[in-house]
Structure 1
Amino acid sequence: LDLVDLGFADWEDPAENFGPETHNVIRHFQDFYGYHVNGVIDQQMLERIDEELEKEISRGLNRPDVERFKLKLVDLGFADWSSPSTNFGPETEERVIAFQEYYDTNRTDGVVDEETLT
């Protein structure tokens, strides 16, 4: 499920086996972060996954889940990107702040926390 959280897969109920779809998701992760693309998870990749999961969704982050979040902002009327990127830049930060202020969340700094996600 970590790869789902990072936006590399969209499984709702992932299978326990390692099939071709999982292989392709791992290859995408490897390609995205510049690893040798072989579809095999090694210790270095596991550490990178953990490292990425610890990062806040905020300015400077470049991950597939940023694109997914941007699409939610579009759906809610806070942005009008037709093809959002995976990069969280200053424009995204402005849109997040507008969202946070509109909904009077605990944070209004453009950092996406659990409250902002829900």
Structure 2
Amino acid sequence: MIYGRRHSDSPTTFEAVAEFSLIVTKIRKPIIFPVTYTKFETTKCRIYEPLEGTLKKGAIVPFHCVIPGATEVKLQVDSQLVGVKGYEDPILKTDITVGSKDVTVYVKYGQNTNYDGLIRYSVE
């Protein structure tokens, strides 16, 4: 079942919005999704890749997301903010080399001088 709520609803009230009948006889590998922050939801962002929330240290990973309306996008890799050349509103498409710490996507909107966190991936 998939649960959801409208932005105007109570933050603790979720209703069933879809149900899928799945027959799973063997779980090969459970998936852990990346952490998304409030700005991800309110700006209607989408992740195409990577969908797995845990990245491999040292791997070169393609990032492909929809981030509507951002004026600037940066990735934090090993506590260093890295500018992204692969963003053209609304598409982020770039490759990064994963370090040894979390990877976080940050964005800036309009005249705001602060960056907001959108997506965080852990590293193993």
Higher normalized strand content (fraction of residues)? 2
The structure with the largest alpha-carbon Rg is 2
TM-score range, shorter chain: under 0.3
**Structure 1-normalised TM-score?**
0.27
Higher normalized helix content (fraction of residues)? 1
**Structure 2-normalised TM-score?**
0.26
